[in-house]
Amino acid sequence: MYIVAIGWAYVILLLVLTAGSLAKALAVFVFLGIVPIALFVYAVGGRKTGRKSMLVSNQMTDQGDASDPQGD
């Protein structure tokens, strides 16, 4: 999924290079580059950590049943 962020950064880099002034280039870089990429990385990364913590908690609850040598 990070290939999308890399591609977007490349497009924004080209827009910044063709901007007429330094102020326009900075505005494009911040508002069309940094902010959307940060939101995208946060959204994509946030889902993975949630799944990971759910998986760890499920494994921890399953281990308690496996340690009992005598079944119910």
Q: What secondary structure does DSSP assign to 26-63, as a single string?
A: HHHIIIIIIHHHHHHHHHHHHHHHHHHHHHHHHHHHHH
pLDDT tens per residue across all 72 residues of the chain: 778 888 999 999 999 999 989 999 999 999 999 999 889 888 887 655 555 666 666 666 666 555 666 766
Which domain does 6 fall in, by range?
2-60
| Residue 72 maps to a domain | no
Q: Is residue 41 part of a domain?
A: yes
For residue 69, being part of any structural domain is answered with no
Considering the domain boundaries, does residue 17 fall inside one? Answer: yes
- Residue 31 located in a structural domain: yes
Whole-prediction pTM value?
0.56
Does 37 reside within a domain?
A: yes
**Residue 40 has what pLDDT?**
87
| Residues 13-41 as b or e (16 or more Cβ within 10 Å = b) | eeebeeeeeeeeeeebbeeebeeebeeee
In a domain, 52, yes or no: yes
Split into its structural domains, the chain has a count of 1
